[in-house]
Amino acid sequence: MSLKLYALALALGLCLTLRASLAQERRIPVSPNEVRLSYAPVVQQVTPAVVNVYAAKTVAVHNPLFDDPIFRRFFGVPGGGGEQVQRSLGSGVLVDAAGLVITNNHVIEGADQVKVSLADKREFEAEMVLKDSRSDLAVLRIKGQGERFPALEFADSDALQVGDIVLAIGNPFAVGQTVTHGIVSAVARTQVGITDYQFFIQTDAAINPGNSGGALVDLGGRLVGINTAIFSRSGGSQGIGFAIPANMVRVVVASAKSGVSTVKRPWLGARLQAITPEISESLGLKRPAGALVASVTPVSPAGRAGLKTSDLILSIDGQAIEDPNAFDYRFATKPLGGHARLAVMRGGKELAFTVALEAAPDTPHDELVIAAPSPFQGAKISNLSPALADDLRIDPATQGVVIVDIATGSPAQSLGFQRGDLVLSVNNAKIAKTRDLERIAGQQSRVWRITILRGGQQMSVELRG
């Protein structure tokens, strides 16, 4: 047989073998075991660690009829209105065998009483350990129990890839513990507008109201995220759900275990802005990516490292940075005490900088509540420290007095002042310290000219008494 005929026969044989193999793959199953594909083993492993969270708070209710003495006498009700209990329902995840539960902060915000119901129907009271509004996470502890609870292990959410299969577990619409499955649709959604740290896992696993605080797990039964929000026009799942990555959850849980009441994160000391197509073109970039340094606080980790205005941050510890939100997340999940290495473009050249990972200094705030009759009555104000500026997302280089809380029903609330408003001037007088605002608020005035900074925008208003 010639060499050509031999090669032809060999190729024909391989083709027939491949066709036979494909035919075997397509054969009719002969037993139930050959068609059984189930997530049941993962679900059985995970569901004992997913809980229902019940929160209740008492709010004052004012009915104008209660002001009528005839109404009160006729119906036998006391004056001044009454109280109403508002309840909310969400989900949570046991992350420590001692009874630590992670959930969303918005599930338990303002609650007077919190209860946790386990998958086996047992119910326990829980106490608040730590709340972190910036990440919308809260940590609870089951009260008075010496037993060991089932807890989920954290996955490395940075290792998650688009297309990975995930399971979402929670209590949607209060129907009871429910499991749904889907894939990871995106791993770094940064334009969602839910929390300060805009960096979410997006999934098409069905997530509905009541799932908030529940678990998003991989097929190894490890926690990859905490379900926190849905995109919906109807109130139900439309295939777009968002979860807080496990690496951020891990930071909050570690803080709770250390016994602190607030989460301490690294402070950069620089204000960043996104790269627009126009800026990208002016810098000669192939595409708009990175975080542009808009300003640097001199006495800060960024200032000491040598960062300057107009520097473009490209990566942190080798992880590419797409925008300022991505940098904020990456930087915030770094452990305190070490250093981070930044790749920065300056003047067309790529440079390396080492930034210390340290918390923002928390200088004395001198907090006080404005009590004098004025537009600010009922507002709790504070001097602006680097730590407070970082917490409220305010440029630390800005001078002024910040509103940190507002009493319910106060004149300050009725006029629309908000937490985070920075008071710059009142009646043409510059406000540098809390005592400046307290002194001016105590002066009677028929006209109030007020300038504040909110969300980076300066606003001025004139109020007449």
324-332 and 246-258 helices, crossing angle to 10° = 40
Residues 128 and 428: their CA atoms lie apart, in Å, by: 44
Q: Which residues touch 86 (CB under 8 Å, ≥6 apart)?
A: 56, 57, 58, 59
Give the Cα separation of 328 and 309 in Å (integer).
Answer: 17
Four-way CATH pick for 44-142: 3.40.30.10, 2.40.10.10, 3.20.20.80, 3.30.1330.20: 2.40.10.10
Looking at residue 71, its pLDDT comes to 52
Question: Phi, psi (5° rounding) for residue 73?
Answer: -70, -40
Residue 53: helix, strand or coil by DSSP? strand
**From 212, 237, 300, 425, active-site residue:** 212
Judged against a pLDDT cut of 50, whether residue 5 lies above it is answered with no
For residue 28, pLDDT beyond 80: no
How big is the chain, counted in residues? 465
Average pLDDT, the chain: 84
CATH topology of domain 368-464: Pdz3 Domain (2.30.42)
Band (pLDDT 50/70/90 cuts) for residue 195 is low
Say which residue the tokens 């908030």 belong to: 212
465 confidence band (pLDDT: 50, 70, 90): low
Q: Do 44-142 and 157-258 have matching folds?
A: yes
157-258 CATH: 2.40.10.10
Entry pTM:
0.77
Please say if 328 is a catalytic residue: no
Q: Write down the CATH number for the domain with range 270-356.
A: 2.30.42.10
d(Cα 229, Cα 104) in Å, to the nearest integer? 10
User: What local confidence, expressed as pLDDT, does residue 88 receive?
Assistant: 73
Coil, helix or strand for 334?
coil
Beta bridge partner(s), residue 186: 202
80 versus 171: the higher-pLDDT residue is 171
Residue 22 has pLDDT above 50, yes or no: no
Q: How far apart are CA 80 and CA 150, in angstroms?
A: 47
Spatial CB neighbours of 351, under 8 Å, sequence gap ≥ 6? 343, 344, 345
What percentage of the chain exceeds 90 in pLDDT? 41
The residue from 88, 106, 157, 391 that is catalytic is: 106
Give the confidence band of 348 by pLDDT, cuts at 50, 70, 90: confident
Q: What is the pLDDT of residues 238-260, one digit of tens each?
A: 778 899 999 999 999 999 998 88
Instruction: Give the pLDDT score at 456.
Output: 78
How is the chain split into domains, by residue range? 44-142, 157-258, 270-356, 368-464
Averaged pLDDT, 384-392: 81
- The pLDDT tens digits for 277-332 are 988 888 888 889 999 999 898 889 999 999 999 999 999 999 999 999 999 999 99
Q: Catalytic site residue 365? A: no
Q: Is 414 a catalytic residue?
A: no
pLDDT of 2: 54
Given 136, 390, 391, 421, the catalytic residue = 136
Q: Kindly tell me if the per-residue pLDDT of 160 is higher than 70.
A: yes
Using one digit for the tens of pLDDT, what is the confidence trace for 393-422? Answer: 787 677 779 998 898 888 898 888 988 899
User: Quick check: helix, strand or coil at residue 288?
Assistant: coil
How far, in Å, CA of 227 to CA of 456, rounded?
Answer: 30
The predicted structure's pLDDT at residue 237: 60
CA angle 59/60/62 to nearest 5° reads 140
- pLDDT over 70 percentage in the chain: 83
Report yes or no: 347 and 338 within 8 Å, Cβ to Cβ. no
